[in-house]
Amino acid sequence: MSRARETNTVHVVADDLDQAIEDLTREWSVDRRARWAIDSGTPATEPLDVERSQAAPATIREALRLARLEVQRQATEATIPPDRTEELRAAEIRLASLQRSRRDLGAGRGRYADSAQGEAARNLHTALNRRRKAERFAEAADSRRTRRHWRHDAKEWADREVKAQRTYDDVVVPEEARLDHQINEMDDRVQELRQLQEDRSSWLREHPEATARLRGIDRELNPLSDMPKIHQELSRLLAPRHEPGHPGMEQGPDLGIDIGP
């Protein structure tokens, strides 16, 4: 279409006047691009007809073929439940990390070693262990004086344990609750993803034609995908072998082909 201040002219490429009128009076809000074989050099109006027409340029035929295969591939993939392998692996790693943090918090080590939570956890464990140790020694002591000493020691560590427990409840317990909540959520997500993967595996076993179709489309889209198999077979055929009666002499079959460097 030309651009002017007073008059605009529409230029239409058509086989005849009737076709030009039809093109100009069509509903432009409806996309009919697939019906138009622009630049194909043929009167065909369907992409598949242009693709099969030897009159169309090879580049256009190839572009249409690749587009058709890609659409078929996307349509086939859409029928297959999505592969959640990477998502599941990431969720499992995250869950393991949270569980490790939970253990480190309780022991006051790892990422919590230099934190207030870590110090509170270690103080509580120390007081608890020392009290229990003193109580065992008091019960096993063979003299009244020794028993009195360990009972007094156990009483001191019991008092420290009470104070350490208060600090632990204030500092560590909220972090424990936060981690436990995240662990439960992530564990549920892992179980969900594992079930989705199992469902996908079951679907693929019941529909082997889908994966076969995808492999066929991939081979058409990328013919070189089979080259590793071809080279492997050629390597097997060309492997050196010993000729009977000629020890140490190696010779391969003469296939009459040159596979290059």
Residues 243-257 have pLDDT tens digits of: 555 554 444 444 444
Q: What is the pLDDT of residue 109?
A: 95
d(CA 53, CA 155): 98
pLDDT at residue 89 tops 80: yes
- For residue 72, the tally of other CB atoms under 10 A from its CB is 16
Closest CA to 101 of 194, 186, 166, 192: 186
Least confident of 61-65, 88-92, 164-168: 61-65
Between 84 and 224, where is the model more confident? Answer: 84
Residues 97-134 have pLDDT tens digits of: 999 999 999 999 999 999 999 999 999 999 999 999 99
Please check whether residue 63 is in contact with residue 49, taking contact to mean a CB–CB distance below 8 angstroms.
Answer: no
Residues 177-210 have pLDDT tens digits of: 999 999 999 999 999 999 999 999 999 899 888 8
d(CA 208, CA 81): 13
Kindly give the interhelix angle for 116-140 and 144-171, rounded to the nearest 10 degrees: 160
Q: What is the pLDDT of residue 238?
A: 54
Closest CA to 157 of 180, 190, 124: 124
Residue type, 127: A
Give the total residue count for the chain.
261
Q: What is the pLDDT of residue 15?
A: 77
Residue type, 57: P
Please check whether residue 134 is in contact with residue 150, taking contact to mean a CB–CB distance below 8 angstroms.
Answer: yes
pLDDT category at 173 given cuts 50, 70, 90 is very high
Closest CA to 48 of 72, 17, 12: 72
Residues 36-74 have pLDDT tens digits of: 444 555 566 677 777 677 777 788 878 888 888 888 888
- For residue 260, the tally of other CB atoms under 10 A from its CB is 4
Phi first, then psi: what are they for 148, rounded to 5°?
Answer: -65, -40
Please check whether residue 124 is in contact with residue 108, taking contact to mean a CB–CB distance below 8 angstroms.
Answer: no
Give the chain's mean pLDDT: 81
